[in-house]
Amino acid sequence: MTAGQLLARLESLPWRTRTWSAGAWVDCWATGAHRNLELGVQDGEPGALEALFGWLTTRVDPWTGMWGTAGSPAADRLQLVNGYYRLTRGSYAQFGLEVPYAERVVDTVLAHGRDQRWFAAGRENACNVLDVAHPLWLAGRRSGHRAAEVRSWAEEQLARALGRWRDGAGFGFGPAGEGGGGPGREPGLQGTEMWLAIVWLLADLAGVADRLAYRPRGVHRPEPARSPGFATPR
């Protein structure tokens, strides 16, 4: 894919109606580019990866720190914040770059985290909590904006999450998401893997991650997959 083709595809993504889908596409493309670099092959045509970050940097909303818009008043910020998680996980976080407008990100995500439709006790699922915890953690690497509120939210969610653990079985994913999907409340591999990553993020936000005997790996690792910079100049 050339830089021009990539930019055209980015412009065509459903940023106004399905922000999660748009963010997921960016996550997949950027992860593919990272894997190509890791394998020592070209990450698309020359300049494509730089074009991605240039487009993202110039399209982010400085008032919210997000890409796209909320799909509808009824959905509020769910698509916006969940799409932000997917987008930044594969791009800024994976490549070790600072997210833009970190303080506005914290404002937007904290406001979403108070939405009782998704975060009242018993209504949380792994996707929705992860999609708040990771942006707060990522933005917190750059700014201590509203740190006490971030910590309070994390402590509350951490206590609830730990109460869901079942010895010998793990975690269930939780109630169905926006589209009615998800693996359900019974413990399983997906729920356990996701909630263990969430617990680590929440514990780190609360300042107690050192009490855990593990650190997430794979797609949920907190460290960037590569240092800032896309390739070593020849």
Structural domain contains residue 226: no
Structural domain contains residue 163: yes
pLDDT in tens, the chain (234 residues): 899 999 999 999 999 999 999 999 999 999 999 998 888 876 567 899 999 999 999 999 999 999 998 766 666 899 999 999 999 999 999 999 999 999 999 999 999 999 999 999 999 999 999 999 999 999 999 999 999 999 999 999 999 999 999 999 999 999 987 666 778 889 999 999 999 999 999 999 999 999 999 999 988 999 998 666 555 444
Paired strand residues for 166: 170
pLDDT confidence of residue 229: 57
pLDDT confidence of residue 69: 87
pLDDT confidence of residue 42: 66
CA distance 78 to 95: 25
Paired strand residues for 73: none
Backbone angles phi, psi at 166, to 5 degrees: -120, 120
pLDDT confidence of residue 215: 96
Of 85, 157, 83, the C-alpha closest to 118 is 157
**How many domains does the chain divide into?**
1
Structural domain contains residue 175: yes
Structural domain contains residue 124: yes
Nearby residues of 218 by Cβ (< 8 Å), 6 or more positions away: none
Residue 73's domain comprises 3-220
How far is residue 111 from each of residues 159, 180, 208, measured CA to CA in Å?
Answer: 20, 23, 24
CB-based contact 68:74 (threshold 8 Å): no
CB-based contact 194:126 (threshold 8 Å): yes
pLDDT confidence of residue 232: 45
pLDDT confidence of residue 77: 93
pLDDT confidence of residue 40: 80
Beta strands in 74-196, from DSSP E residues, in sequence order: none
Structural domain contains residue 73: yes
Of 148, 175, 147, 146, the C-alpha closest to 160 is 175
Q: In 40-101, where does DSSP find H-type helix?
A: 48-59, 78-88
CA distance 207 to 38: 33
